[in-house]
Amino acid sequence: MSSIPIPAGSLFGVDNLPYGVFSTPDSAPRVGVRVGDSVVDLSRIFPGDDVFAAPSLNAFMAQGRPRWDETRSALVELVRRGVADDAVFPVPEVRLHLPIEVADYVDFYASEHHAANLGRLFRPQNPEPLLPNWKHLPVGYHGRSGTVVVSGVDVVRPCGQRKGPNDAAPVFGPTVRLDIEAELGFVVGVGSAMGARIGPDEFADHCFGAVVLNDWSARDIQAWEYVPLGPNLGKSFATSVSPWVVPLAALDAARIATPLQCPEPLPYLRGEQQWGLDIELEVEWNGQLVSRPPYAQMYWSPAQMLAHLTVNGAATRTGDLLGSGTVSGPGVRQRGAFIEMTWGGAKPVRIGDAHRTFVEDGDEIAISATAPGPHGTRIGFGEVRTRILPATGEP
């Protein structure tokens, strides 16, 4: 039995305790919690509890908020008192896996700055960059859960149809405008029955925690296909997430009001609790920091996203993943997508010795996030890091 060293200023102290799924060369995937630079094996800390011996967090998440709170309190005490040596593994010596079985994936469009920038890019003739519905509801689309992957999994450049403004007809081939979207993802722990609704003030009873998310986007494929039904192949090829799920309880110190919402949302989107979040993301392109998107600027809160998702009676399930949509602020170096940062490719960004617009083969993108913790501390989400591989052969 020994204490776990937590370096000064660590983003993974007892105020955080994010959950993940890990394995070692001689063992199967199971649930762990990160403490400092170590992973604590919960299947050894809580022997006989099958939910922690499982290869995903889903069984634990499905037990509900009282169990989440009870386990978190127990972990805080265990970490402070000391943990059995055979339950502690250095982070570099383990393999991290996708932490949840993703049931459904819905991606929203909650940043006013991002939506307005894309409106100016795609509809320059319109005096108002936002579409008429945007300030009345959290716009979203249904994605593919089967192509959500964890940090470290390479992504192959997608192929599809695209048609440029000067092309007489559509052509098929690899995307030439591969982009990122720096987001947060919110994980549903306890679902809701078909026909039921989840109000904004019920958010903490249903949302288990949050991850960093990169919603990869093939902008040329997307532009040709999305009218009239929205994104499909331009988005469905891959979505990358960080391996650590930060519990919602760890984000109490980060909770703030959303920006002023005008006009006032309809009653089903109003709540007494504040679910804006003061979280700062960072985007690195081949090791170079290029953007710091501020989640505090997001117009729609995750509680409003979940309320909107269920207001029509749609069921939710353990493992549902809600993407926030691109996180962008008012500054150029606060934009969470390269299409915004380079203004559709017209204003390249200097990366190393080259000027770049969109993601090229061999590029590595890393997105990380931190948030305020208690007493002036900060907590971390870790990162989602992905390398792009060349497209495979044509069909």
Domain end (from 76, 97, 118) = 97
- Same domain for 24 and 167, yes or no, is no
| pLDDT, tens digit, 9 for 90 and up, residues 136-149 | 999 999 999 999 99
List pLDDT tens digits, range 204-254: 999 999 999 999 999 999 999 998 988 999 999 999 999 999 999 999 999
Tokens for 289? 């920091």
Q: How crowded is residue 95: how many other Cβ atoms within 10 Å of its Cβ?
A: 13
Q: Give pTM, 2 decimals.
A: 0.97
Do 125 and 73 lie in a common domain?
no
| Res. 191: pLDDT tops 60 | yes
Phi, psi of 3 (to 5 degrees): -80, 150
Quote the percentage of the chain above a pLDDT of 90: 95
Phi, psi of 216 (to 5 degrees): -55, 140
**Phi, psi (degrees; rounded to nearest 5) at 236:** -75, -10
Integer Cα distance of 330 and 324 in angstroms: 17
239: domain CATH number is 3.90.850.10
**Residues involved in catalysis:** 114
Q: Does residue 363 register a pLDDT over 70?
A: yes
CATH code for the domain of 77: 2.30.30.230
Q: Is 288 annotated as a binding residue?
A: no
Q: How far apart are CA 333 and CA 288, in angstroms?
A: 12
Classified as helix, coil or strand, 279 is coil
- Decide if 333 is inside a domain: yes
Q: Does residue 222 have a known ligand-binding role? A: yes
- Range of 44's domain? 19-97
Q: Is 107 annotated as a binding residue?
A: yes
Instruction: Tell me the C-alpha distance between 255 and 252, whole Å.
Output: 6
225 annotated to bind ligand: no
